[in-house]
């Protein structure tokens, strides 16, 4: 695939309470023998993305130990490799990652030294199955600057804790609200993006110049009227581990044969 992968796995989620006090959310066990980050890694491996960077930070010991066994996801160093980046203190910089855009900026060499024209960015706390090749095909077909993977959520879902998007008839995103007080739509961003590598470098460098640090607020929301940002709707199973309740419900879902068959057969 003509893309590299970046998995954002450094955040701290207070809504996970005691569960995330000693380990990162991305290292939380799912369905007994997996970690939540395994689903994103498997999606990238199955889509033939051969070079993937995981940006870790908060309570990363358990996650880093898990990622050391990268053989499970078939990221061979000859083809690309699995890279784990944590914040590094240098003469020029002594900051932790101050946001998702800053995390990518602090590892800009990874982007600059790669040759693939596209980047797939995903959070590491999502449980889903997707073929990134289809998202990339859609991205190219739409001549998009950025493609955001979206999903219509079921009635009764607490939409306010997600980023919500509103699209026109062409699926171009016209409105993007991050964790709105009152959601105007039930379509949410799944935290998965496709973008051209050179454009991402340019936008991240501009963010750093302006002392901005968040990919959603400082890139997606700021540029929604300037850049061509499209939504790609996924309709299959998707959950993210954002609270104790989400974590419990996700694990309970794997007791259902249809969910197990969907992921593992």
% pLDDT > 90, the chain = 62
User: Is the per-residue pLDDT at 71 higher than 80?
Assistant: no
Mean pLDDT of 58-65: 81
pLDDT in tens, 113-140: 999 999 999 999 999 999 999 999 999 9
Is a pLDDT exceeding 90 seen at residue 62?
A: no
Average pLDDT over residues 102-110: 94
Secondary structure (3-state) at 60: coil
Instruction: Give the pLDDT of residue 73.
Output: 61
Q: Please give the pLDDT value at position 131.
A: 97
Is the Cα torsion angle 206, 5, 113, 70 positive or negative in sign?
positive
pTM of the model: 0.92
Over residues 79-98, the pLDDT tens digits come to 568 889 987 766 666 677 88
The whole-angstrom separation of Cα 39 and Cα 160 is: 24
Sign for the CA dihedral angle at 88, 94, 96, 101 comes to: negative
**Could you count the other beta carbons within 10 Å of the beta carbon of residue 69?**
9
Taking only the tens place, the pLDDT of each residue in 189-200 is: 999 999 999 999
Domain boundaries, the chain: 3-257
pLDDT attached to residue 89? 67
Q: What is the pLDDT of residues 222-249, one digit of tens each?
A: 999 999 999 999 999 999 888 889 999 9
Rounded CA-CA distance 38/29 in Å is: 10
**Which residue, 130, 160, 116, 125, is CA-closest to 26?**
125
Residue-level pLDDT at 181: 82
pLDDT band at 57 (very low <50, low <70, confident <90, very high): confident
Which pLDDT belongs to residue 180? 85
Note the pLDDT of residue 77: 56
pLDDT confidence bin for 59, thresholds 50/70/90:
confident
Query: Is the per-residue pLDDT at 35 higher than 80?
Result: yes
Q: Is the pLDDT of residue 70 over 60?
A: no
Q: What kind of fold does domain 3-257 have according to CATH?
A: Spore Coat Polysaccharide Biosynthesis Protein SpsA; Chain A (3.90.550)
Lowest mean pLDDT among 110-114, 181-185, 255-259: 181-185
- What percent of the chain clears pLDDT 70, i.e. is strictly above it? 92
Structure tokens at 142: 């739409």
**Helix/strand/coil percentages in the chain, nearest 5:** 35, 25, 40
Amino acid 2: pLDDT: 92
């Amino acid at each position: 695939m003509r893309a590299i992968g970046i998995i954002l796995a450094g955040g701290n989620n207070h809504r996970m309470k005691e569960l995330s006090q000693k380990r990162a959310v991305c290292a939380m066990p799912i369905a007994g023998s997996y970690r939540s980050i395994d689903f994103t890694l498997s999606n990238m491996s199955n889509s033939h993305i051969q070079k993937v960077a995981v940006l870790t930070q908060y309570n990363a010991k358990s996650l880093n130990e898990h990622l050391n066994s990268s053989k499970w996801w078939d990221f061979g160093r000859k083809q690309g490799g699995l890279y784990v980046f944590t914040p590094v203190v240098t003469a020029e910089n002594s900051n932790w990652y101050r946001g998702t855009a800053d995390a990518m900026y602090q590892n800009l060499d990874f982007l600059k030294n790669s040759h693939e024209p596209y980047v797939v960015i995903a959070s590491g706390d999502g449980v889903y199955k997707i073929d990134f090749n289809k998202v990339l095909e859609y991205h190219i077909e739409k001549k998009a600057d950025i493609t955001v993977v979206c999903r219509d959520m079921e009635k009764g879902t607490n939409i306010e804790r997600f980023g919500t998007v509103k699209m026109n008839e062409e699926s171009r995103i016209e409105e993007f609200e991050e964790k709105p007080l009152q959601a105007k739509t039930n379509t949410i961003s799944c935290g998965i993006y496709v973008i051209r590598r050179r454009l991402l470098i340019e936008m991240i460098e501009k963010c750093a110049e302006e002392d901005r640090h968040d990919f959603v607020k400082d890139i997606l929301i700021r540029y929604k009227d300037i850049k061509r940002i499209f939504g790609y709707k996924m309709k299959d199973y998707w959950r993210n581990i954002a609270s104790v309740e989400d974590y419990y419900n996700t694990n309970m879902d794997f007791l259902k044969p249809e969910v197990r068959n969907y992921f593992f057969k």
